[in-house]
Every structure is written in C-alpha cells, then in structure tokens.
Structure 1
C-alpha cells in the first residue's frame, strides 16, 4: 500500500467539531435565504423569540389562555344580555403594553398594523375596488387605542367585500413605506414580555370585552390570509405569495382556534408578503 494510503486521516479542529454538533440555531434562522424579510426585521423577531419569557412563560400561558378564552366566550353566549366594553378593552390593552411588554414586542405589534394596512391599500390601489384606502397606520403605542384593534379586523372585511379585481395599467407600489415607530422604550416596565406571551394574555380581555360575534369575526379575519395572498399573486403575476398559504378555508368558521398562535402566524405572513412587495417595487416590476 502507498504511504498516502497509510497516512492518518486528518481530524477536524475541536472547535469546528463542536460547532457542527451544536449548530447556531438563531444565526441559521437569520441567514435563511428562504425568509424574505430584511435581516434587521428577522433579527427583531429572533431577539423577541430569545426572551426568557418566550422559553418559560409562553408554554404555560398558551394552553391556559386558550382554555380561559373558550370558557369566557361560552359563558357570554349563554348570557341573554349582549354587552361590549370596547373602551375598557383599549385601556387595558395600552396599560398592559406599557407596563408588561418589551418595547421590541410593542414595535413588532405596531408594525403589523401598518403592514396589514399597506397590503390592503396595495389591493385597493391596484384594482377597481370602489372604496378609499385604509387609514389605520399607527406610529406609536397610543395609536393602538381608540378602537384600532376592531378597526384593524373590520378593514379586511370591508376591502374583500367591495373587491373588484378589474384593473388597467402598471402596478402602483406607493404606500409601502414603514414610518418611524415609537414603542415608548424609555417607559419603566414591570416586566418585558415577548410578543407571543403577550398575545396569550391580551386574548383574555378581547374575549371578555367583545360580544361572541365580534370575537368570532376578529378571529375569522385571519382565515382570509390565503385569500389576500392569492389576490397579491394574481395582481403581481408572482406565485411566490402562494408559498405562504396555510390551507385555511375562509368558508369554514372555526370555533376552537388557538388564537394567539394564529395571530402570530398571521403577523409573520403579512411581514413576508409585505417584504416581497417591497422587493418587487425595488425591481420596478408590474
């Protein structure tokens, strides 16, 4: 046998072997080329995911929130009096966000309101839909009050109900900007929850302060994500939007939804679609 055949096989450095055995999860997520987000936005999402509250509190908060929300809605359905407390819901929401939720999570939440409005307005501007563009674009934490949560859900229904897919001319990519956002980072907080744990806790006053029909309407609005992605794919001629469909049927109303999980997925999908529209705008397509 040759000396080369008898030579010992080179071994990888100890550090490299350790790295291969324990790959950097979060670095891989940020670098994943299949994620269409700007790296800064992906890093924001990852930083929020890495909070200790996401690791330790969320697994407990998620099933408890789902059970209590179902109980609240069931009790309200058998109650003969239908009452709402929209103003109380807004106040509880702002109080909770200012004192118990991290500024990063608050910023991600405000971003979602702006991004969904941008998506709906892109559809309105590029079709013959006979309505004015959606006006809900909060830029600070206070903007999440004044019925913003309810308006946010209703806007989806209004646009889809009036939708007229006829259009002429090139696509209008205006209105996809993200204004500077103020999540009140300097405010003293008792705790700094991640956004998923915060959604679990915020789901309870939503269930309590809305009528069962209002709550069901808000939850069902997320089932139109697949419809919006299909509309965007048809308008732009780009099938990439269809990759993020979940297979939810808007014609089926589900009464047993994991609402916080659905809201989080809905927000991420909107981020994906918005980022891809921005990319198409930069390419000058349409």
Structure 2
C-alpha cells in the first residue's frame, strides 16, 4: 500500500513559518539513507508522537519504578521470554505504524551487518550470529533478547581473541564491505497498515520497555538496557578499522563504564536506533566509494549457532 506523503513535503515553504521537519529532511550533514530519514521523520511528525507520547512517557517510567520495587520481592531468575516476544510481535502487528515497524525490523538486520563488518576486518577470527527478520512474526522466537546477547557476546569474543593473540584492531587499507547492503527484502508497504496501526516508534518503545521489564528477569532487563551504551564501543571499533573518528560525535549512548538508570531506556533506545542507521549509512557510502574506485573485496559473513 502506498504511503501518503507527509505534510511537510506537501506544504510550500514559508520563510516566516519554516517547517522544522522539512529542514531536517533536506539537511545532508549526517550519513543516513534518504528512505530511512523519510520514514523516521514521517513517524516523528505523526500525531501519535505529538499527542500520545507526552502521556505515555511518564506513565511508562512510573511503571518501571513500580516494577523495580516488585522485582525486589520476586525470584531474580524468574522470566517469561517466549511470552514477552509473542506479546511484542502482537503489539507490532496490531498497533504500530508501518514506518515504525519497518525501522524496527530493519534495525536487527543492519545491526548484524555492523558486527559482521568488524568481524570480517578484525585481525582475528570472530563468529557472529546475524539476524535477518523478513516479517513481524520472526521476532517472536526471542529476537529482541538475542539481539542484546549478540552485542555482549561479540564484544567478549572479539576482545578475548585479541588478547589471546596479542593483536589489536588497526586501520585496514582495503576494508571488506561485502556484508554491508540495504535490507531490501523489508518494505514499508508490506507492514500492517490498518486503522489501528497508529502508534509511533518512540511511543511504542516507551510502552515496550516496562513490558520488557515485567517478563524478563532483573538481570536480563538490566543487561538489555545497558547494552545501549555499547554504541560508543562499536563506534570506536569501526572508527579504528577505518581510521576515521569524525562520526563518533553522533553516538549519544555513552559512556559504557557508567551504567545509567533504566528509566530513560526508551529514549536511549531511540538514540541507539538512529546511531545504528547513521553508522550503516556511513558504511554504505564508503562501500560505494570503494566500488567506484575498483577496490571491492568480497567475503561471506561468518555465522555461528544461536546463543
């Protein structure tokens, strides 16, 4: 189903009343795919984000506090991950906007590509576990949880191998970009677009966060929320391989050695998604430049079983 163009692309520019969304859409200072920016701003300028998010956010944060108190009196390892993921998939299918669902599924794919890029260009052999959802139902088998585990397992495996070999990450003259590509198997028009699919990405994330906390163990929830601060770690890995640190300023979930409160997990998750898109956009530009110069290098992803 074709999506209606957002209002900010239909309205004529008025110098006395300029649209902030149009300014962000036209700006090219950050490396992000145009289709992603379009979907992001359509979602961000929606009525749901304007009128629903301000009420959802305080409610969600209060719920997190109450659940944290409840968790003090429940077994620390009590978790219902399968139920959680079925509930998340149901919520995505029935209530979330097409643009938001597309960005969520896309995030699993490009996040895996970023880890595979580091693994392929590291001086040691590292196994990765790429995620490639094709539809909303694919998140039901613990995909959210596996996504978080992949980050920690990758950092542990990479640095254990580097320490054991006495090597370190360094600039690669001809980086392998073969795993970096647009997940074209995902299309916005294939996402659910019924009347009830109105919820924007940030509102959905704010609602998902206390649900995540309720059905996971306290350790799993803490680990998941603090995995967001690994954005800086992954960014440094990529910047080291490319000898280009100018885009590290776009990473906002830092510093990984200072754990943050879980109350702002929803907002930080939005930053995590945007940082991942910018990293992917930057790698896509570098891959295109390498292809034009005739320096393309092909190498398949390395995969391992699910953790």
**Which TM-score applies when normalising by structure 2?**
0.82
In structure 2, C-alpha distance between the alignment counterparts of 1:233 and 1:151, rounded to whole Å: 25
In structure 2, C-alpha distance between the alignment counterparts of 1:195 and 1:143, rounded to whole Å: 19
Q: 1:186 to 1:62 in 2, by over 3 A?
A: closer
Shift of 1:79: 2.0
Match of 2:110 in 1: 115
Shift of 1:232: 0.9
Alignment equivalent of 2:137, drawn from 138, 142, 157: 142
Match of 2:53 in 1: 58
Shift of 1:102: 1.2
Shift of 1:242: 1.5
Shift of 1:246: 2.6
Alignment equivalent of 2:272, drawn from 257, 266, 275: 266
Cα RMSD of the aligned pairs, angstroms, is 2.1
Alignment equivalent of 1:131, drawn from 126, 130, 133: 126
Which runs of 4 or more aligned residues in structure 1 lie more than 6 Å from their structure 2 counterparts after TM superposition?
Answer: none
Q: 1:265 to 1:186 in 2, by over 3 A?
A: closer
Q: 1:90 to 1:240 in 2, by over 3 A?
A: same
In structure 1, C-alpha distance between the alignment counterparts of 2:154 and 2:56, rounded to whole Å: 34
Match of 1:77 in 2: 72
Alignment equivalent of 2:34, drawn from 16, 33, 39: 39
Task: Give secondary structure in 1 for the equivalent of 2:103.
Answer: helix
Task: Give secondary structure in 1 for the equivalent of 2:29.
Answer: coil
1:172 and 2:176 equivalent?
Answer: yes
Alignment equivalent of 1:194, drawn from 188, 192, 200: 200
Shift of 1:81: 5.8
Alignment equivalent of 2:232, drawn from 212, 226, 231: 226
In structure 2, C-alpha distance between the alignment counterparts of 1:238 and 1:80, rounded to whole Å: 46
Shift of 1:191: 3.6
Contact 1:216–1:255 (CA under 8 A) maintained in structure 2: no
- For these two proteins, the number of residue pairs brought into alignment is 270
Task: Give secondary structure in 2 for the equivalent of 1:238.
Answer: coil
Contact 2:231–2:272 (CA under 8 A) maintained in structure 1: yes
1:181 and 2:186 equivalent?
Answer: yes
Once the two structures are superposed, residues 129-177 of structure 1 have per-residue CA deviations (whole angstroms, 9 ceiling, x without a partner) of 4332322121211121101001000111111112234466621101112
Worse-superposed segment, 177-186 or 61-70: 177-186
Q: 1:43 to 1:207 in 2, by over 3 A?
A: same
Once the two structures are superposed, residues 199-219 of structure 1 have per-residue CA deviations (whole angstroms, 9 ceiling, x without a partner) of 111112200000111000000
**Unaligned residue ranges in structure 1 (runs of 5+):** 1-15
Once the two structures are superposed, residues 77-112 of structure 1 have per-residue CA deviations (whole angstroms, 9 ceiling, x without a partner) of 332463110110011001111111112110010011
Worse-superposed segment, 50-59 or 160-169: 160-169
In structure 2, C-alpha distance between the alignment counterparts of 1:68 and 1:196, rounded to whole Å: 17
In structure 1, C-alpha distance between the alignment counterparts of 2:156 and 2:271, rounded to whole Å: 23
Match of 2:24 in 1: 29
Once the two structures are superposed, residues 209-260 of structure 1 have per-residue CA deviations (whole angstroms, 9 ceiling, x without a partner) of 0011100000010111111111111101112231213371211222344111
Match of 2:256 in 1: 250
Task: Give secondary structure in 1 for the equivalent of 2:14.
Answer: helix
In structure 2, C-alpha distance between the alignment counterparts of 1:151 and 1:202, rounded to whole Å: 16
**Which TM-score applies when normalising by structure 1?**
0.88
Larger-gyration structure (1/2): 1
In structure 1, C-alpha distance between the alignment counterparts of 2:54 and 2:119, rounded to whole Å: 39
Match of 1:236 in 2: 242
